[in-house]
């Protein structure tokens, strides 16, 4: 595969709204990010992904963009962004922007024009349909945010038609069939790339193409939205025939003209259909985020984790590249989800990082995981902010669920788990802001915060530093071969990474239990040096060969 800079990227995801507030309005800002660049440099990352910071009414925390070519005033100004970009580049840190091409805000000028009349030049920028004969919505699709009575269509009295919104009614889907819309989007992307940004994380990118004729979903309507007859069918607008041609066109007109990185968010996509998107020869996107591990709502067993990784890693034999991540702004905190955020919070946080940073592919760190931040469990729905949790909660209540059960079902997976303010210290508001934060701080901030972690001899941040530095100095990790050992073991994850110059062994005990040591015979007769452990002071497992301690993680290099 042709070598590209993003294969050696270690990306740090910044949810600006919750990162660092410097003006006391309770919302993180660009100055805050800028003040933390030295800390990110120290961590060792070399690329930042900004969640959307464009001008936006913030219905969905910036995924509802009202001006693609401006920064939201709560975050700062375009000039401040340019300064930040320049400074990051001077420090050797690239910057990618989150780009939402599937929908805009209903406050976007295009939509404001579009709704004015059926013959407005912007009418076809969006997807309008006349009501059915009985006045009902054009089809039975439900919106993903469980808003209103659940339909994905919003009636607009001004022209007597419905427009499509797969997400909130305040986020109308745009119409990629319409050439003038495409050209506007191309121009806008070039504008950012010409400014110097290094690429894009592409929101909901496999949803741009809608199915011909917008047919009803055949899925049976499931409560709670189903009680109104609408169907939340996330598959119906994903991977629709024609999506690849659409992406190839964007690539040809925009991305291919720059040395940029594109990483697409692709829900409803298994490894089977992924190559079409990421095979380099197809010239679509460079890599993608799938939902099969980090964002899969079902709890995954250790064996399933290995099998899933194997399927994705196998794609790399076909001229393709993958991502490694366990969390983001839409998922629970990884240490709560996959680790043990109580008695083994520190070792399990380190163990999860060990996997992400030594498996094949580009690793992504979500802000706060490097200090072991955990899920938040608010007691009342009023403390939750994000549209999905709130929308689904009230729909469940309307469908007859009692409040406690409804909240109980939503809490673990709520996207707000990842969105509470960064815990910088045990000062008021966790040192995030001198004002009232836009969302409550996780009450565990007194115990879990950046300052406490850095002061601890068991610092997670420090482990990340060593891990990232190790990764970037090991050719076997960046693009070496990969092979699982003990594939069927229910607790141990073990694999070899090797290239002509180096062989590494990564082995972790992905469980709360002490596990009897077992090594495959093929490792006997070699000499191994331990490069990293998450249990400082422990004797290498290779030497003691008794039991793996709970959440123990080690990296070895073969030296003879």
CB of 168 to ligand NOJ, least distance (A): 8
For residue 64, what are the contacts with CB-CB under 8 A and spacing of at least 6?
A: 56, 57, 58, 100, 103, 104, 105, 106, 107, 168, 170, 171
Nearer to ligand NOJ, 265 or 453 (CB): 265
Ranked by CB distance to ligand NOJ, the top (closest) residue is: 63
CB of 58 to ligand NOJ, least distance (A): 12
Q: What is the DSSP string of 299-312?
A: PPPHHHHHHHHHHH
483: closest CA among 499, 468, 470?
Answer: 499
Is the separation of the CB atoms in 54 and 74 below 8 Å?
Answer: no
CB of 151 to ligand NOJ, least distance (A): 17
Enumerate the active-site residues.
Answer: 203, 265
Nearer to ligand NOJ, 92 or 297 (CB): 297
Is the separation of the CB atoms in 336 and 373 below 8 Å?
Answer: no
For residue 44, what are the contacts with CB-CB under 8 A and spacing of at least 6?
A: 10, 464, 465, 468, 469, 472
Nearer to ligand NOJ, 51 or 509 (CB): 51
Nearer to ligand NOJ, 267 or 550 (CB): 267
Distance in angstroms (rounded) separating the CA atoms of residues 425 and 175: 46
Distance in angstroms (rounded) separating the CA atoms of residues 273 and 294: 18
CB of 289 to ligand NOJ, least distance (A): 9
Nearer to ligand NOJ, 63 or 153 (CB): 63
- How many other C-beta atoms lie within 10 A of the C-beta of residue 230? 24
Q: In a 3-state reduction of DSSP, which class is residue 136? A: coil
Q: What is the DSSP string of 478-497?
A: HH-EEEEESTT-SSEEEEEE
CB of 45 to ligand NOJ, least distance (A): 20
Q: Is the dihedral of CA 287, 292, 296, 302 positive or negative?
A: negative
CB of 66 to ligand NOJ, least distance (A): 14
454: closest CA among 425, 432, 421, 431?
Answer: 425
Is the separation of the CB atoms in 293 and 326 below 8 Å?
Answer: yes
Nearer to ligand NOJ, 13 or 140 (CB): 13
Residues that bind ligand NOJ (CB under 6 A): 60, 63, 100, 167, 203-204, 265, 329-330
């Amino acid at each position: 595969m042709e070598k590209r800079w993003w294969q050696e990227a270690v990306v740090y995801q910044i949810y600006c709204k919750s990162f660092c507030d410097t003006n006391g309005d309770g919302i993180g800002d660009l100055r805050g990010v800028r003040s933390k660049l030295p800390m990110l440099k120290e961590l060792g990352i070399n690329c930042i992904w900004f969640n959307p910071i464009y001008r936006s009414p913030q219905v969905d925390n910036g995924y509802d963009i009202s001006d693609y070519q401006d920064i939201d005033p709560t975050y700062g100004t375009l000039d401040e962004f340019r300064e930040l970009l320049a400074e990051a580049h001077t420090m050797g840190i690239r910057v990618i922007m989150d780009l939402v091409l599937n929908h805009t805000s209903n406050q976007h000028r295009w939509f404001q024009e579009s709704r004015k009349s059926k013959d407005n030049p912007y009418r076809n920028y969006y997807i309008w349909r006349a009501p059915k004969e009985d006045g009902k919505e054009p089809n039975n699709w439900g919106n993903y945010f469980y808003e209103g009575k659940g339909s994905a269509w919003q009636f607009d009295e001004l022209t007597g038609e419905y427009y499509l919104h797969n997400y909130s009614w305040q986020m109308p889907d745009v119409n990629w069939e319409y050439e003038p819309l495409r050209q506007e989007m191309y121009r806008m992307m070039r504008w950012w790339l010409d400014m110097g940004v290094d690429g894009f994380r592409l929101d909901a990118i496999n949803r741009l193409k809608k199915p011909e004729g917008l047919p009803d979903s055949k899925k049976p309507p499931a409560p709670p939205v189903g009680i109104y007859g609408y169907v939340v069918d996330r598959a119906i607008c994903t991977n629709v025939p024609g999506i690849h041609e659409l992406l190839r066109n964007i690539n040809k007109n925009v991305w291919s003209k720059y040395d940029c990185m594109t990483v697409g968010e692709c829900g409803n996509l298994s490894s089977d259909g992924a190559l079409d998107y990421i095979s380099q020869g197809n010239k679509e996107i460079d890599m993608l985020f799938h939902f099969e591990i980090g964002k899969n709502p079902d709890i995954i067993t250790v064996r399933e984790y290995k099998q899933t990784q194997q399927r994705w890693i196998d794609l790399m034999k076909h001229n393709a590249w993958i991502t490694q991540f366990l969390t983001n702004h839409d998922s629970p905190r990884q240490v709560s989800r996959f680790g043990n955020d109580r008695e083994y919070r520190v070792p399990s946080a380190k163990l999860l990082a060990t996997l992400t940073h030594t498996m094949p592919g580009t690793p992504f760190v979500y802000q706060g995981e490097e200090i072991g931040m955990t899920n938040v469990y608010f007691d009342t729905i009023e403390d939750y902010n994000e549209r999905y949790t709130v929308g689904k909660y009230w729909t469940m209540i309307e469908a007859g669920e009692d409040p406690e059960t409804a909240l109980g079902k939503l809490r673990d997976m709520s996207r707000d788990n990842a969105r509470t303010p960064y815990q910088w210290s045990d000062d008021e508001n966790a040192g995030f802001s001198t004002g009232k934060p836009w969302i409550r701080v996780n009450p565990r901030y007194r115990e879990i915060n950046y300052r406490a972690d850095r002061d601890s001899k068991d610092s997670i941040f420090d482990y990340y530093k060593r891990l990232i530095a190790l990764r970037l100095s090991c050719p076997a990790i960046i693009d070496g071969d990969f092979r699982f050992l003990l594939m069927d073991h229910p607790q141990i994850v073990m694999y070899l990474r090797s290239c002509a110059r180096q062989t590494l062994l990564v082995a972790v005990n992905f469980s709360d239990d002490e596990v009897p040591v077992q090594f495959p015979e093929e490792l006997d007769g070699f000499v191994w040096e331990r490069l990293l452990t998450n249990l400082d002071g422990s004797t290498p497992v290779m030497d003691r060969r008794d039991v793996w301690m709970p959440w123990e993680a080690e990296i070895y290099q073969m030296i003879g």
